[in-house]
Chains A and B, each alone.
Chain A
């Protein structure tokens, strides 16, 4: 009898300990989520507020409205919809071209053996050591000169900006992709070659379908990175209508900031949407070692 009591007491205390163990962890989780989400909730609340208010007194403000979103999309003063479209266009094209350029290079590095292979592979990585944003003045001058011959690729042009982004395309991306290509058994391409396929055919029909996951990851990472670029876009784009959303939204921190706080909030939410979606698509890959080069924050 007494023996049973002690056992059940032990079990009870063990259960209590377990419950406590979970409880304090949950409290920490709630605090962390609070810290993470507090600015976001604030922005959500402000974005549906009809007036640009000093402090948030209630989560859902009186006379909640979607008017701020409508104004951001239609107001002549801020070509906001245009900025978002510019950003999507620039980031989308850049990412597409980056995937094309790096997958071609990675295929060669992974499948062929040639004299310059090692030095080139190493060079591609070492160049990344010197980020090209540090050469922003030189990039500015290059585009200035290109623009005199081909205005569509010079300063204040989206294609000029894309050219600059492509300059930094190789590097980690090629490495990441080559690593992934290496995991695909060479027997597959050898079988194709025996059947008389050209290397182009082997690349497009045999390898390409197998490496789609890594292509998607690189596309998304490049998209997120390009979308968030502020420095290069700021230097190269000079016309308000050409701005990307990163440069455009920064206009809001001017003198009338306090009067347009609710408008800014609506804009910020809409601008965050594209990368937010993409980010959650590759969330799991971000945690694994796959994306070693992708630092942020």
Chain B
């Protein structure tokens, strides 16, 4: 069955105008998705990544004719290493999950090189879903360790599962509860003591820039989501970029190619013990341009201010919502924090999903919900440093109003949203009677 006939330009533009009107973007309103760092996407970066000197570059053209691109990559890689305290960086990974994959494959190669093949990777129960999925994709088995009552790693539980079969310990720090692991140095040392590597999922780097270089906590590698911390847009689901920074010990294992500076010239090189290629060409270059521009705009001082403001704004919202919702970890947070809708569920049968949908009626994108998994009726809130105080206050007010509505008018919350292009959608039906393309029933399969 062929494609339908084409459409005129105005028909296409009107169609996408219609679709755009049915989408909530960051410019529409506050987007406090925990762990996603939905900060403002600077428009100058959108212009810069579209300069013809970048977009018209073919990746196979001689590097002598692409020195500007290579220099940008070289400096971005160096800056990311400086921010995180690592020795070397690959810009190849296309997203955070791809970065996790790249790093774990490097661990695998390094372990095999010392004749020490291992079977397992430890992750805490607060880990993002990509962590265990990556572990499996790299051919390892996941061991999950429970968090303690403070929401951080339970050292005894960790000690129990750490043995010489462990290839790596994978941690998000600050973790997905928005808490920095206070014993982080001890934890990474424990991993090293059994010959395992320590990996940092750097999705939450927005809390740390200029405050600590996370490599100094003893990590061997980390990925960075440029589409979070470095203000590249999420694009409705991508493309992002997930550079990986590593120690000098691991640098020889980086995927090929890496950019190097050799006597005034930027060149591509293949690291001595490279794990090989993890994708075609070099990286999501236009995303790298955006991140580079962001870095050059902010500089060292600006980056530190970003992290400090992200932390202050998160704590501000946290303290203002403390009495309206349950707060399972009621202590200072980093750039995000979690609430629980347990009280509302118990008292009036209103669930976190209802609260999330009701927020849409108030003009806010909901927080991340039902994650991390260890918090009942979880709401994970990350305001980011770019939101104005007025907006934070309006969000706080909306959350408080919803908490009140939960007891006064639960039916309204169950029926939310009422003001969006569609009412609540039936996800169960979609998974039962699967229709994923408009095709005649006789489509070959």
Whether chain B is bound by chain A comes out as no
A: residues with CB less than 8 A from B are none
B: residues with CB less than 8 A from A are none
